[in-house]
């Protein structure tokens, strides 16, 4: 009698194991298209966060966000400007020069860009080069207030 019960239990276990391994063909595998994945918009994410971090003087974090922004959109002049300025504040002038080079390729040699390049040279202590760039920027600006402030800094040092 014990053997019959054991055989019945063993058979029942085998049946449960076999049926437990089969797939259920009634599962709906249709992919939904109702909700699209959110697209990452560089203008509202990394660029904005880079600006916020730069304003708060968190230049390392600003650099990381601006770098990501230019990786996502290499034609974003504002992101290149922020990246170059972040590198300037971090004292990474070699990287700043590369970023300014890319910025000029993307946006052209605009007075605001030249002003920032002049300020970069001022931070490095290259007074002669800084003066030339700042005077070039001043000649092209309608309101040279920022350039005048940079020239005043140059004259103090």
Cα 90 from Cα 112, distance rounded (Å): 20
Residues 72, 46: contact at Cβ < 8 Å?
Answer: yes
Which has more confidence, 58 or 29? 58
DSSP string, 56-74: TT-HHHHHHHHHHHHHH-T
Q: What is the pLDDT of residues 100-130, one digit of tens each?
A: 999 999 999 999 999 999 999 999 999 999 9
Give this prediction's pTM: 0.72
* Residues whose CB falls within 8 Å of the CB of residue 78, separated by 6 or more in sequence, listed in order: 47
Q: 3-state SS of 124-150?
A: HCCHHHHHHHHHHHHHHCCCCHHHHHH
- Measured from the Cβ of residue 61, the count of other Cβ atoms closer than 10 Å reads 16
Give the pLDDT confidence of 129-145 residue by residue, as tens digits. 999 999 999 999 999 99
Please give the span between the terminal C-alpha atoms of the chain, in angstroms, as a whole number. Answer: 105
Tell me what pLDDT residue 58 has.
97
């Amino acid at each position: 009698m014990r053997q019959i019960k054991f055989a019945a239990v063993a058979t029942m276990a085998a049946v449960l194991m076999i049926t437990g391994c089969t797939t259920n063909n009634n599962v709906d595998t249709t992919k939904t298209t109702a909700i699209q994945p959110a697209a990452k918009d560089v203008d509202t994410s990394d660029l904005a966060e880079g600006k916020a971090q730069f304003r708060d003087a968190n230049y390392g974090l600003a650099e990381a966000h601006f770098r990501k922004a230019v990786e996502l959109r290499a034609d974003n002049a504002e992101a290149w400007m922020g990246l170059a300025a972040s590198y300037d504040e971090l004292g990474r002038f070699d990287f700043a020069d590369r970023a300014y080079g890319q910025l000029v390729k993307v946006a052209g040699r605009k007075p605001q860009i030249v002003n920032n390049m002049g300020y970069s040279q001022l931070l490095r202590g290259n007074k002669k080069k800084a003066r030339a760039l700042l005077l070039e920027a001043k000649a092209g600006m309608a309101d040279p207030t920022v350039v005048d402030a940079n020239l005043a800094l140059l004259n103090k040092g």
